[in-house]
Structure 1
Amino acid sequence: MTAWESIAKELFSGVIGMGDPSVWMMFLIGGILIYLGVKKDYEPMLLFPMGVGCILANIPGHFAVIPTGGEPGFLSVLYEAGIANELFPVLIFIAVGAMCEFDPLIRAPYVMLFAAAAHFGIFAAALLASMAGFPFNEAASIGIIGAADGPTTIFVAQKFATNLLAPLTVTAFCYMSLVPIIQPPIVKLLTTKKERMIRMPFKAEKPVSWTARFLFPLMVVLIAGILAPISVPLIGALMFGNLLKVSGVTDSLSNAAQNELSNLVTLLLGITVGATMTAENILTMDVLKILVLGAFAFVFDTVGGVLFAKLANLFLKKKINPMIGACGISAFPMSGRVIAKMALKEDPSNYIIQHAMGVNVAGQVASVVAGGLVLALIPVLG
């Protein structure tokens, strides 16, 4: 090859690479993610950067990810700095903790039962994934999609299924964004109109004391950490963020966690995860299986929560609206809002938002506990 031919090949590497059909397929996938975020408003803070990252990572001959001249591209730097060492998921949990209001959970600890039932899909999907031929570590990582918690999925996958990080993360975030589409038909299928119209009147609850609000996150960290030490980064970051909020003396840090930290890390996390979506990582039969298993996990989460609420009604004199059981997933506050809107659609004067959000907050804690449990079980059972 002459010098001119070499130069021409370098200059036109992008044009030559566009002949690969997989490149166009990945552009299409990136475009769909952008469309869902921008036009459909499905988790735009995540899907939009992910779609852009996907397109950048699949431009032939680029240097955004592929090292050139011995130096890694900027997306590779972000990956190593924030995903490979689990930094971004932990920072996200600090931000989420600062946003959470645990008062409903402290007043009514029994709502954790609904949250636990709504995480049934994790273990059901993990079992099904194992039956589908995935090794136990990968099957458990697939199951964690059912936690409806993208950062938890990243954290677990990075430790035990690095090769599946891209499809697992994308699947988790995409299904999180589709909660308004996935949950309503399942809830309607499992409940009658009469059940969906059950009223749960608003109660003017006594304020939770500052002492209880401050001690609650500390006790959760200690209990979860002692039972599953490997979960400390997850539960510790979540509760640290909440302590910033409830302490009353770190308002500036709490506000920074809820706003600047949340926005910055979400931005970097989205584009970095999108950059892992290369053709060799995404266009495989295993990814198709993961998409199906992820949907299975989400469906069974909703089914588990609603059926548990219906079961509880068999023993309760004062019936609860079984739809709130679906709020036990970690998609906070989206799931709580979706269920509250469903109740209003059935009866415009039926406001169950207080109860739905209480269960949804419990689901946020349950997702981290479930992630810690999976982290603890994989080394033992794998």
Structure 2
Amino acid sequence: MIDYIEPIFEGLKSLFYDPKIIIMWIVSAILFYFGIVKKKEPLLLIPISSGILFANLPMGELIRIGGNGEPDGFIKIFQDIGLSTDILPLLVFLGMGALTDFEPVLANPKTLLLGAAAQVGVFAALLGALLLGMTPWFNFGLLEASSIGIIGGADGPTTIFISTRMREIGQSIPNLNVMDIVGATAVAAYSYMALVPIIQPPIIRLFTTKHERRIRMDYASKKISKRTKIIFPIATLIIVSVLVPAASPLISVMMFGNLLRESGVVDRLAKTAQNDLMNIVIILLGLSVGATMPANVFLKLETISIFILGLFSFIFATISGILLAKFMNLFLSKPINPMIGAAGVSAVPMAARVVQNEAIKEDPSNFLLMHAMGPNVAGVIGTATVAGVLLAIVPNLVR
């Protein structure tokens, strides 16, 4: 009789055999708190938190690998179809392109440099991961270091894209052990995107003076023509794809989305990409990413170090953008507010909002939001381009 009843209590028994899942419930609860109570990027954190919880339910039914007549868990199906094939991250880029207005960049092209400066954080964290990999406690190689470094761009879809690619490259090379850090890097990237309003303000205040934070910037009197807005995504796609072919998947779908927006003749497609498609993809992506973090994968020293290196990368990217803006002011007749350099990370539009909030604290009438959007959207292009550079170079170095 007991043998028949025992399967009912399998879930309860698993809590005693693997108490680590309770720790992951706490991690999920913390992210739920930030998303629901603090309202920090709830569209991202609530699906990811749910995915973490799903992956750490007793017996792992939602992420199981099918067999003996049993199908795969439904989250496992999303992961196989959406993450392993890069479809979900690419569809997010399509939606981002449809949502993004590149007019601030076109009106003030020098802000592209600020978006490029923020990529310094990517390479700083990459080097940091390689140095840790030289110690006996960590197993980071060049593939893992590249995935960790890209966290500094604060661009979740790009982080997922390059992490999955690096994992697949490693698995295709005989006798090369590669860590599966897709979940850890993705959650780190999205967490820092959500925590931009907490992380960036102290850094901005530390590296700028009160006078610099009060600098006003004029807006261009000449409006950008519709023709220019249409040509920009096409030209950007061609130029980046020619110079960095490995970046073309990310850049092409993003610029296609932007072309839908700017052409003005396919509003139905543009609105679908901006809303319905984007919302569905965010749900599937968040659940799939969160579910890559079962306790036996997440609760490792390497995972903790990934979060620390990712934070270091993000901070370094913010500082680099600010310092470049200050350096540019040495040569500009009309100085730019150094705070907009902090918006060079890819967290759109969170970083630009932070800059605006810091500006109005010093001068309530100083409107910097659209100026900050310039480096902010430039950072998206910059991070995607750097990802392409890494994908082009790193595989040849590890083979």
- TM bin, normalised by shorter chain, reads over 0.9
| Structure 2: tracts of 5 or more residues without a match | 134-139, 169-179
In 1: Cα distance, 2:372 partner to 2:65 partner? 48
> Which stretches in structure 1 are left out of the alignment for 5+ residues?
none
Who is 2:44 aligned against?
Answer: 46
Q: Deviations over 1:57-93 (max 9, x none)?
A: 1111242111453310100111111111110000000
Letter in structure 2 aligned against 1:72: D
What is the aligned partner in structure 2 of residue 146 from structure 1? 152
Sort the Cα spacing of 1:207 and 1:27 in 2 relative to 1 into closer, same or farther, 3 A. same
State the partner residue of 2:14: 17
3-state SS of paired residue (1:25): helix
Give secondary structure in 2 for the equivalent of 1:161.
Answer: helix
Provide the secondary structure at the position in 2 that maps to 1:18. helix
Aligned to 2:176: none
Q: 2:240–2:248: 8 Å Cα contact kept in structure 1?
A: yes
Paired residues of 1:141 and 1:161 also in contact (CA < 8 A):
no
User: Structure 1 residues 55-64 or 44-53, which shifts more?
Assistant: 55-64
Alignment partner, residue 96 of structure 1: 96
The answer for the alignment partner of 1:296 in structure 2 is 312
Counting only pairs closer than 5 Å after superposition, residues 304-319 of structure 1 correspond to structure 2 as 304-319=320-335
The amino acid of 2:55's aligned partner reads A
2:141 alignment partner AA: P
Correspondent of 1:7 among 4, 12, 19: 4
Partner residue in 2 for 1:165: 182
Which residue is 1:327 aligned to? 343
Aligned 1:102-141 pairs, distance under 5 A: 102-133=102-133, 134-141=140-147
Aligned partners of 1:199, 1:36: CA distance in 2, in Å?
Answer: 33
In the other structure, the counterpart of 1:64 is 62
- What is the deviation of 1:7? 3.3
Q: Answer with 66-75 or 153-162: which moved more.
A: 66-75
The number of equivalent residue pairs is 378
The answer to whether residue 379 in structure 2 is matched with residue 381 in structure 1 is no
1:253 alignment counterpart:
269
**Residue 187 of structure 1: how far off its partner (Å):** 0.7
One-letter amino acid of the counterpart of residue 252, structure 2? G
Q: C-alpha separation between the residues in 1 aligned to 2:167 and 2:355?
A: 33
C-alpha change, 1:380 and 1:227, in structure 2 (3 Å) is farther
Cα distance in 2 between the residues matched to 1:205 and 1:256: 32
Q: Does the Cα contact within 8 Å between 1:53 and 1:270 map onto a contact in 2?
A: yes
Partner of 2:175: none
Contact 1:26 1:58 in 2 (8 A): yes
Structure 1 length normalisation: TM-score?
Answer: 0.96
Partner secondary structure for residue 138 of structure 1: helix
SS in 2 for 1:323: helix
Aligned counterparts of 1:366 and 1:46: Cα–Cα separation in 2 = 22
Does the 8 A contact of 1:343 with 1:350 survive in 2? Answer: yes
Equivalents in 2 of 1:61, 1:341: separation in Å? 46
Taking a change above 3 Å as real, the CA distance of residues 200 and 88 of structure 1, as seen in their structure-2 partners, is same
The residue type equivalent to 1:118 in the other structure is: A
Aligned-pair distance for 1:188? Answer: 0.6
Is 220-229 or 127-136 further displaced after alignment?
220-229
Query: Percent same amino acid among aligned pairs?
Result: 45
Deviates more, 1:287-296 or 1:361-370: 361-370
Counterpart secondary structure, 1:9: helix
What's 1:190 paired with?
207
Q: In the alignment, does 2:293 pair up with 1:277?
A: yes
Distance 1:5 1:225 in 2: 65
Q: Is the 8 A contact 1:153 1:168 kept in 2?
A: yes
Over the aligned positions, Cα root-mean-square deviation in angstroms equals: 1.3
Counterpart code for 2:336: I
Q: CA deviation at 1:210?
A: 2.2
- Given residue 189 of structure 1, which amino acid in structure 2 is its aligned partner? L
Partner-residue secondary structure (3-state), 1:267: helix
Q: Distance in 2 between matches of 1:5 and 1:88?
A: 46
Report if the CA contact (8 A) 1:309-1:322 is conserved.
yes
* 14-23 vs 57-66, greater mean Cα deviation: 57-66
